[in-house]
């Protein structure tokens, strides 16, 4: 994406000569057109001029980041400024190239470097915000989403449901079949919980054999209880591990909220306490206020 037809043609020709069939270059002279195509298509990298007619400077970079934050960006600039280069990288660009130095080989190397660096960044971000075993979001990501959900539901009047899921007799699996078997069971439980909830819901692992489930946009509490029932049915089927039949039953505590003034950690704690009540009473699930509890799958007392 360049700010003039002459510059665009020069970049296209020089890159084509340097890369040959390795590169398919699409040139767009406005940021709005480029952003639309980035959102709709599949691209490997963006070479972005900071002097486009409809967006200049770092604002162009910000808009491109909004279009696709996972796409590597190489910034082109006529301004030889170390400060600008540092700001561009801090705001998400993977590399900064002066137009006066933008030969085909230089740009090709920069594109390759940008793609490699972006892949490393995404992997580090994934590791920081997800559980390494199951691939689910971790507790920190869950809390952030819960806080945003509470703010949204305060406006809509709908409910947020937080469920604390703890595996029953998980230690026994580790002790009798080994930790590898325990890991296999946790991965299977993560899959089953994710399949049991709605597409708009979120499942996270918060450590050990404990999971968190966020259900937002609930019109009433019984919608949340229905989801808890589905999770119970999903966990009722056995898992075969090295010839052993393992039943991944779990106890579930549920807390409801709709107010952004409610600290996310409080809802999690209330759901945790309800889970322990369900476990002690040998119930499938229990709610924080004690109004609902399930004695077994498909039944309610």
Mean of all residue pLDDT scores within the chain: 88
Q: pLDDT band at 293, cuts 50/70/90?
A: confident
CA distance 260 to 243: 48
Dig out the tokens for 12 from the structure.
């296209």
The gap from C-alpha 23 to its chain's centroid, in whole angstroms, comes to: 30
11-69 pLDDT tens trace: 778 887 887 777 788 888 888 888 888 888 788 999 998 888 888 788 989 988 888 88
Burial 142-166 (b: 16+ CB within 10 A, else e): bbebbbebbeebbeeebbbbbbbbb
Between 154 and 252, the higher pLDDT residue: 252
When computed from its CA atoms, the radius of gyration of the chain, rounded to whole angstroms, is 26
At residue 166, φ and ψ (nearest 5 deg) are -125, 130
pTM of the model: 0.64
pLDDT tens track for 180-201 = 999 999 999 999 999 999 999 9
Question: Is there a contact between 41 and 71 (Cβ–Cβ < 8 Å)?
Answer: no
Contact 60, 81 (CB under 8 A): no
- Residue 127, pLDDT > 90, answer no
As a whole number, mean pLDDT of residues 167-192 equals: 94
* pLDDT value for 187: 96
Whether pLDDT at 126 is above 90: no
**pLDDT above 90 (res 178):** yes
Active-site choice (209, 226, 242, 272): 209
Q: How open is the CA angle 67-68-69, to the nearest 5 degrees?
A: 120
Please give the Cα distance from 97 to 276 (Å, whole number).
58
Of 73, 79, 56, nearest in space to 107 by CA: 73
- Burial bucket for residue 61 (CB in 10 Å: 0-12, 13-18, 19+): buried
pLDDT above 50: residue 294: yes
Is residue 209 annotated as part of the catalytic site, yes or no? yes
């Amino acid at each position: 994406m360049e700010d003039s037809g002459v510059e665009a043609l020069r970049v296209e020709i020089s890159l084509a000569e340097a890369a040959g069939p390795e590169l398919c270059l699409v040139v767009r002279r406005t940021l709005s057109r480029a952003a639309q195509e980035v959102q709709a298509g599949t691209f490997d990298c963006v070479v972005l001029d900071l002097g486009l007619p409809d967006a200049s400077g770092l604002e162009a970079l910000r808009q491109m980041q909004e279009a696709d934050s996972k796409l590597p960006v190489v910034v082109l600039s006529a301004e030889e400024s170390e400060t600008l280069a540092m700001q561009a990288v801090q705001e998400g660009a993977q590399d900064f190239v002066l137009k006066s130095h933008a030969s085909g080989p230089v740009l090709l190397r920069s594109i390759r470097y940008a793609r490699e660096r972006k892949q490393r960044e995404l992997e580090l971000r994934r590791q920081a915000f997800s559980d390494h075993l199951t691939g689910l979001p971790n507790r920190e990501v869950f809390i952030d989403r819960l806080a945003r959900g509470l703010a949204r539901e305060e406006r809509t009047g709908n409910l947020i449901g937080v469920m604390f899921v703890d595996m029953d007799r998980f230690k026994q699996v580790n002790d009798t079949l080994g930790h590898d078997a325990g890991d296999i069971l946790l991965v299977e439980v993560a899959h089953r919980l994710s399949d049991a909830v709605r597409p708009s819901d979120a499942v996270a692992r918060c450590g050990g054999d404990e999971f968190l489930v966020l259900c937002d946009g609930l019109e009433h509490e019984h919608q949340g209880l229905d989801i808890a029932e589905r999770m119970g049915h999903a966990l009722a089927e056995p898992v075969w591990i090295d010839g052993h039949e393992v039943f991944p039953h779990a106890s579930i505590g549920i807390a409801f909220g709709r107010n952004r003034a409610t600290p996310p950690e409080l809802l999690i704690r209330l759901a945790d306490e309800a889970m322990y009540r369900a476990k002690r009473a040998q119930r499938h699930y229990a709610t924080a206020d004690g109004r609902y509890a399930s004695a077994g799958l498909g039944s309610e007392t």
